[in-house]
Structure 1
């Protein structure tokens, strides 16, 4: 069976002036055209070809050897190519862009921006995409607590936080108290697994574990001390602005890191100076 919206292996039934007609194994009566310019040289009747099937601008079912960025059953981050009165058109890697209807948008979309979407066949038999993806995300992954992950924000809820598709596959949440700052749907973020719920869903933190942060900040301070003959003219009594300018840290982070170094007896502390 020839399936719209999927990459598939079809066989050549016959050649015509405008291309080759392909069929699915076991269903030779139903065919789809592969345009002449896309027929690989040397192919003969009965040979197999890997193609993607869709409807062209004239609503004719057609195939192509080009590989689109998305197919039915998968998610992909697609870019908005243009916006119209019926929705937004997204670049899927083919000559014809695919429609994102207003009814399938989550929040406002911007031209030139990318969003995570799923591909589906609408009531008219045309391909379209949707930003409503939660129902197709999986909840079981191999990630464990404290694992580092990458994901795409697919929804933002003021009472819950950021809904994120990890690896464009696994459903996860950044709780609202962790989601400090400004985020956008479609934004790719890096986080840490802070919890794995009983149903397998991941809870993410956008902060590193506290002791790792302290360790990294301590290394920065030690490097600065070594580069400045073992002395930095900032300390507990210095202003947040002075500390930020020299170290790039907040005063709170600076004090934690300095405290750790002092406990380790790596530095000496004065009100407005630290020394190796």
Structure 2
């Protein structure tokens, strides 16, 4: 295999020539430099050494004994080290930060953000990061319906919903109808598995089953009513978008929670508002 074919991967190469500025690894036909500060103590000609191959700031193939945080074929959450005119730069454990081009971002990122990325080789033969990791995620999760899981949001679609990588590696989606609250790319969230599809991908919800969620929703409504001075300026017949904006829940969930509060004698509904009943 040509050395260039090992770009982005760990390789076990043989030391073939020692020079003042490092050690060349490879064979008679091809060699790659392992800089002096990366050469393990005692490494001699003919010895094997495990290295990672990437390109330096001059786009030359180079070896390192440092451990990268991601290799080709993997998906990992990395920190944004900086941003620039051509994209963002990710800390991946090597001296040269990993470029995340603007066109590979599913949302604009800022310094300090944590984002889920895959590693790919661009048209010019350089290693770059991409947030478009849908096809890189696994579909063999150990989870089943109603399990509680955690994951990171890596993309948001107006058509489909919120794409989540459970455990940073398993493919999942919060369908649009379940995508309540202020959800953003890079957020780490806890969810409930609604279903595991035949292809292994999961549908998630940020909410519990209706009967479990009802009390929490009722408490949220009471808290918001208190913020409004003891009442809401609308009833359970309000526009669904207003309810979602105010409470991060569907109109049906809102009506169920209000019904619980009515039954408990905690609120009353007038023509234009819902009021707290103080006992």
TM superposition score normalised by structure 1:
0.74
Could you tell me which of 17, 22, 31 is aligned with 1:19?
22
- 8 Å CA contact retained: 2:162, 2:175: yes
Q: Which residue of 1 aligns with 2:268?
A: none
Give the stretch that moved more between structures: 115-124 or 130-139. 130-139
Partner of 2:89: 89
For the residue of structure 2 that corresponds to 1:21, the secondary structure is strand
Task: Pick which of 203-212 and 109-118 moved more.
Answer: 203-212
How far residue 141 of structure 1 moved from its aligned partner, in angstroms, is 2.4
Q: Give the whole-Å Cα distance in 1 for the aligned partners of 2:196 and 2:97.
A: 38
Kept in 2: contact 1:238–1:272 (CA 8 A) = no
Which one is further off, 66-75 or 202-211? 202-211
Report the Cα offset of residue 119 of structure 1. 0.7
Gaps of 5+ in 2: 228-253, 265-276
Aligned length: 235
> Aligned pair 1:241/2:226, yes or no?
yes
Q: 1:99-130: CA deviations, max 9, x gaps?
A: 11122121322222121111111122111111
Structure 1: where are the runs of 5+ without partners?
Answer: 218-236, 243-249, 260-270
Q: Kindly provide the CA deviation profile for residues 216-236 of structure 1, in whole angstroms up to 9, marking residues without a partner as x.
A: 99xxxxxxxxxxxxxxxxxxx
User: By how many angstroms is 1:145 displaced?
Assistant: 0.8
Aligned equivalents of 2:160, 2:103: Cα separation in 1: 23
Q: Which segment is superposed worse, 181-190 or 132-141?
A: 132-141
* Contact preservation (8 Å) 1:164, 1:174: yes
User: How far does residue 213 in structure 1 lie from its aligned partner after superposition?
Assistant: 5.6
**4+ residue stretches of structure 1 with deviation over 6 A?**
214-217
